[in-house]
Chains A and B, each alone.
Chain A
Amino acid sequence: MNPYALLFLVAGLGVIAWLTGRARAARFGAASKHRLHSLPGQHGLYVAMWTVIPALIFVVAWSIFTPSLATDAVLKAPQASALPMFGYERDAILNEVRARAAGGDYGFYPLAEQLAPVYLQASRFYGWLGTGLAILLAFACGAFAYTRVKADFRARTRVERTVMLALLVASLIAILTTLGIFLSLLFESLRFFAMVPITDFLFGTLWSPQVIDPADPGATLGAVPLFWGTFFIGAVIAMLVAIPFGLMSAIYLTQYARPAVRQWMKPLLEILAGVPTVVYGYFAALTVGPAIRDLAVSLGFTYASSESALSAGLVMGVMIIPFVSSMADDSIAAVPRAMRDGSLAMGATTSETIRRVLLPAALPGVVAGVLLAVSRAIGETMIVVMAASGAANITANPFESATTVTKQIVDLLTGEAEFDSPKTLAAFALGLTLFMITFLLNIVALRVVKKYREAYE
């Protein structure tokens, strides 16, 4: 059955449940001498919730798992032995099977044409099975709830508690996601470290994933050049751009600019943060990269690349200006006005007040902003993927190419590698490293902000 129709049916059952529950409660109320604890409508709601919610959860879960079950059925069919073991083609054929089962009649693979009816049949079977089970569940739970409706039954509290539970579950998704990220990264990384010793990975200086020696995969999977590149592009070059511009912009906007100017200037700067990173990357590749190469050549560097670290770092720095500016702005504005007045009343100029009183007072907030900006920069993917190359060098020359952790993750995963090779799993190891570093930076930054906020409250 069509999942939408099923949902509709369950909803309809819920309405019926509400009506019957309410009616029953009303009967009790009329018959008994005491007043009901909760309104008949709330009793009805209670029955309806029991009818709908378990069935709903079941339907959602079932429809998530049905495609895999149906795919399994396809894989068990005799014709499936002709499928390639892994890779793009396998995925494409399976996709086409699904598309044909959904009603499309246009495709490339004859194999898919054969397998489609199998998928369709399995899918239909599971669909009807799921429908039956869902309806059964709805009835069973609804009946259970119905029997509990009595005069002294505390329906209202139950309903309220369920709503609270739903809200709590929604909030828990955040924890679940964090856990999910950490666990999935950890799991795959452990598989990686079973093949490649962790010391080779963390301290090796040769990164060349195209040539992996099966006997000693760790020899060409040393991530130090990646760590260096990420640091060089993200924490050095980008920050050299973002911190001065961001900080001075914040100072100008909070201390010098007229309120009318600040009102449109601030959103204008924030637009910089809203430009999609892919656009920045394209801009870097199209305009900035070649310009810098020309500059480098004119300065005498003959081996300059148009995919230089400077090009990527510069554009990344521009993107991050609003992050630094925004945090600095908030921190400086949070310094009590009394500080500023006290300094000015002593005959200090505005710049002296800023440099000697406001900035030192706002420093924790500014530092936290910088840390968060660094975290953003080293996690940035799109700009480096488009503007930097894959050359894993360890160089301090900004006109040369360097690569970052994020770009390598992308490179390792696009392509036809199977899921279990050291190459693919290396992406997860890199991801885990990146996650832990940014996590640490964020925690430190948030702690600094928290301590600083306490000082002023």
Chain B
Amino acid sequence: MQKRIRKRYRAERRFRAIGMGAVIVSAAFLFFLLATMIGNGAAGFMRTEVALPIDFKSAPLEVDRAQLGTRGADLALAGAGLENRVKTAATAAFGEKGDELIAENAWTAVRDAIKEDPNLLSQSAHIWVPASSELDAAADGGGEPELRARVQQLRDRGALQSGFNAGFLSRADSTDPTAVGIWGALKGSILTMLVTLLIAFPIGVLSAVYLEEYAPKNRWTDLIEVSINNLAAVPSIIFGLLGLAVFLGTLGLPRSAPLVGGLTLALMIMPVIVIAGRNAIKAVPPGGVFDPATVLPVQIFLWSDEVSRGFIEKTSAAIIVLLAFLLAMNALAIYLRNKFETRW
């Protein structure tokens, strides 16, 4: 009898350990995922910059100063061959292939500096420009050895720095990983979500109120309930097909517009709002939306296909922004619920 009891207690301890293990491993998955994303993505928020010596005093730029304060400044400076000037300056400063050390759009940094201070055009100065993605990778420790050596060289000269890449949040998509930003996608996300909420929230809440408070018990309301429960579980891609066939095909709305995305998403989440709304009620004793845009998750998806190493960290960084956004919204929802929930 004693042996049997001991066996039973051993089984009990094993069972309990398995249960605890399951919870711990599941949580570990989550942390591992977050850690990987943050680890990969933190670098995406930083950008390497190189100090480019450029001399306008001895070799002035042929540009009409009057244009610099107007909207035509960009065009004027581009027309004056600023891009090539910057390239030659790079070669002069860093040797042969020096222009490969700076980003393709590095000249826009010089352009912006000039717009801010037109006196630069009569000076010789050092201007911080973004480094190319290869140099950026080398500065993080990857890439080829010669590049890493260059990085060390430049660092010793004080010509290399890593800064916060503020442009990541304000620039739009690009093929060059150092010039890329998520603003376009972020804007699209916000706009689409606005449309979704404006449509789904009133309809969902009104439906929930009706079904909980007023609807008579008959076949029709049963059908509505069954439909709502089923819709809540339909795969999202089916809604995509629906959007494609009806909104784009039959109604001819513009593709990729936040309006269409918002409408489709609204249809998708409305059943969830109705169900959640009904449960909440039960607990009481009685969009420019027409232009094409893109959204963050799609941006992440598109970037994930990019081969360049630089895109990996940018994608992870975009994921961090997305997650932060969602966590903030979740936290807000929990806060609102706690604040306004009354215990009956």
Binding site for B on A (CB under 8 A): 64-65, 67-68, 71, 91, 94-95, 98-99, 102, 164, 166-168, 170-175, 177-178, 180-181, 184-185, 187-188, 244-249, 251-253, 255-257, 265, 268-269, 271-272, 274-276, 278-283, 285-287, 318, 321, 325, 349-352, 354-355, 372, 375-376, 378-382, 385-386, 406, 409-410, 413, 419, 427-428, 431, 434-435, 438-439, 442-443, 446
Contact = CB atoms under 8 A, between A and B. Distances in A.
Contact of B12 (A71, A178, A281, A349): A349
A410 B237 contact: yes
B308 interface: no
A27 B229 CA distance: 51
B1 interface: no
A410 B252 CA distance: 20
Given A282-B304, A282-B319, A174 B270 contact: yes
A268 B237 CA distance: 27
Interface string B202-215: 11001101110011
B214 A167 contact: yes
Contacts of A378: 235
23 contacts: A91-B255, A170-B206, A173-B203, A173-B207, A174-B231, A178-B227, A181-B234, A181-B238, A185-B238, A246-B22, A248-B23, A268-B27, A269-B23, A275-B33, A281-B301, A282-B300, A286-B316, A355-B15, A372-B233, A376-B233, A381-B236, A382-B297, A438-B235
B239 to A, nearest CB: 8
B1 to A, nearest CB: 12
Nearest to A269: B26
B241 interface: yes
A interface, over-half SS: helix
B interface, over-half SS: helix
Nearest to A413: B244
B272 to A, nearest CB: 11
B8 interface: yes
Contact of B245 (A168, A172, A354, A428): A428
Nearest to A348: B8
B57 interface: no
Interface string B1-24: 000000011011011101111110
B197 to A, nearest CB: 15
Interface residues of B, number: 76
Interface of B: 8-9, 11-12, 14-16, 18-23, 25-27, 29-30, 33, 36-37, 40, 202-203, 206-207, 209-211, 214-215, 223-224, 226-231, 233-239, 241-242, 244-246, 249, 251-255, 267, 270-271, 274, 290-292, 297, 300-301, 304, 312, 315-316, 319, 322-323, 326, 330
Q: Lowest 5 A-B CB distances belong to which pairs?
A: A379-B235, A252-B19, A167-B210, A248-B22, A351-B15
Given A173-B207, A265-B23, A279-B300, A438 B233 contact: yes
Nearest to A431: B241
Contacts of B237: 379, 381, 406, 409-410, 431, 434
Given A286-B36, A435-B234, A245 B26 contact: yes
B242 A184 contact: yes
A166 B206 contact: yes
Given A102-B290, A286-B36, A318 B29 contact: yes
A355 B11 CA distance: 11
B224 A172 contact: yes
Contacts of A265: 23, 27
A410 B206 CA distance: 34
B292 A95 contact: yes
B228 A427 contact: no
Contacts of B297: 276, 278, 382
A175 B223 contact: yes
Given A256-B20, A269-B27, A286-B36, A381 B235 contact: yes
A168 B249 CA distance: 28
Contact of B249 (A178, A382, A409, A419): A419
Contact of B8 (A178, A248, A352): A352
A419 B233 CA distance: 28
A350 B245 contact: no
A264 B30 CA distance: 14
A171 B215 contact: yes
B219 to A, nearest CB: 12
B16 A167 contact: no
Nearest to B229: A446
B19 A251 contact: yes
B251 A386 contact: no
Nearest to B288: A102
Contact of A167 (B40, B207, B244, B301): B207
A281 B267 CA distance: 24
A251 B21 CA distance: 11
B309 to A, nearest CB: 12
Nearest to A280: B33
Contacts of A94: 254
Nearest to A271: B30
Nearest to A261: B23
Contact of A431 (B19, B33, B238): B238
